[in-house]
Amino acid sequence: MYRIFFSLVFRRMDAEAAHRLAFRWIRLAARIPVLRTFLAAALAPRHEELRTEALGLRMHGPFGLAAGFDKNAVAVDGMTMLGFDHVEIGTVTGQPQPGNPGKRLFRLVPDRALINRMGFNNDGSLAVAARLASREAVFRTVVGVNIGKTKAVPEADAVADYVTSTERLAPHADYLVVNVSSPNTPGLRDLQATEALRPLLTAVREAAGRAVPGRRVPLLVKIAPDLADEDVDAVADLAVELGLDGIIATNTTIARDGLGLTSDPALVAETGGLSGAPLGERSLEVLRRLYARVGDRVTLVGVGGVRDAEDAWQRILAGATLVQGYSAFVYEGPFWARAVHKGLAARLRTSPYATLADAVGADVRKAAA
């Protein structure tokens, strides 16, 4: 049903306009008590065997919404209603900013992919922090907060910008993510180099400790799939050295060659980060490499190219305790999270693993044995 609707309505609309319309419907449904209860029962049934503990947090399952969909924390309950076990909001910057000029979001329908050059459009950390502080949760869920650098802030002042966002947002975050991997903010990816990343993560950790003295806010870093293998290893080693809680692998890619893209070449040539199915293979490679390096010492979150339950299961076997998605939601619609959960539960039941935690990294361990 949704695929027919997508073809007849959303596909004919500008991608960003369609996103705003769908987002408005989700938020509206979550405000109507009877409707949201009915939708949550239909779209978010719980599977006891999928219950997950990660980052010191308990979740109904491992499958969450990646950052980028709810940039301003306006639809956390709506996305939970649709079945996501955790919701990562953002990316939020120290100052509000409109992002890049349109047109800036493109669908590659034959490839089940998106290209975006949104540029961290968001209300800014002060407004988002106030929204989270005043939120009256309808559904219990884990809320991650993804922070990035304000475009107007020079790279030399990047650490202070992240610290400002951390001090404002950490009290309202179940976990905090430092995003240094979006391709749409000039110079941002330079912060992935360990000599720049070490002082940044250290400052953010200290700021979170000051802002929330009675609770350790889990801290993660999100990396790009375009890092060379030796740079992936360097980030993994740094995460262990600093006692980082997690790594999210991966963000969007600037690559186009070798991805087997079949969409209109004019669309493929658009600048920005590509997400969706074509990213899956490289994202999985990075995840396996990270798990081989850090094992169980750092929680890994697999994102990028997750289309269905099989993709989510492969991420878990490759070392991901948590899995996230976004692009496939655009193409699969409101029953997507339900289908992923159902498929994961079925795969776990027919696997040799007693629990989901036992399956985490099993393929990597097996290959190393």
Please tell me whether 250 is known to bind a ligand. Answer: yes
Crossing angle for the helix pair 229-242 and 194-211, nearest 10 degrees? 30
Please tell me whether 184 is known to bind a ligand. Answer: yes
- Judge contact between 159 and 196, C-beta under 8 A: no
Distance, in Å, from the CA atom of 337 to the CA atom of 258, rounded to the nearest integer, reads 29
Q: Report, as residue numbers or ranges, the catalytic residues.
A: 182
Nearest to 117 by CA among 182, 181, 179, 192: 182
Please tell me whether 179 is known to bind a ligand. Answer: yes
Distance, in Å, from the CA atom of 113 to the CA atom of 184, rounded to the nearest integer, reads 17
Q: How far is CA 301 from CA 40, 102, 163, 229, in A?
A: 25, 31, 23, 18
Please tell me whether 71 is known to bind a ligand. Answer: yes
Please tell me whether 91 is known to bind a ligand. Answer: yes
Please tell me whether 271 is known to bind a ligand. Answer: no
Please tell me whether 210 is known to bind a ligand. Answer: no
Please tell me whether 222 is known to bind a ligand. Answer: yes
Please tell me whether 305 is known to bind a ligand. Answer: yes
Please tell me whether 122 is known to bind a ligand. Answer: no
Tell me how many degrees the CA angle 60-64-68 measures, rounded to the nearest 5.
Answer: 155
Return the biggest CA–CA distance within the chain: 53
Contacting residues for 357 by C-beta, under 8 A, at least 6 apart: 52, 53, 321
Distance, in Å, from the CA atom of 295 to the CA atom of 290, rounded to the nearest integer, reads 8
Please tell me whether 258 is known to bind a ligand. Answer: no
Distance, in Å, from the CA atom of 62 to the CA atom of 311, rounded to the nearest integer, reads 13
Please tell me whether 120 is known to bind a ligand. Answer: yes
Please tell me whether 68 is known to bind a ligand. Answer: yes
Residue with tokens 């209860």: 37
Please tell me whether 102 is known to bind a ligand. Answer: no
Bridge partner residues of 116 (DSSP): 105, 273
Residues at the binding site for FMN are: 67-71, 91, 146, 179, 222, 250, 276, 305, 326-327
Sequence ranges of the binding site for substrate: 71, 116-120, 179, 184, 251-252
Q: Which residues carry a binding-site annotation?
A: 67-71, 91, 116-120, 146, 179, 184, 222, 250-252, 276, 305, 326-327
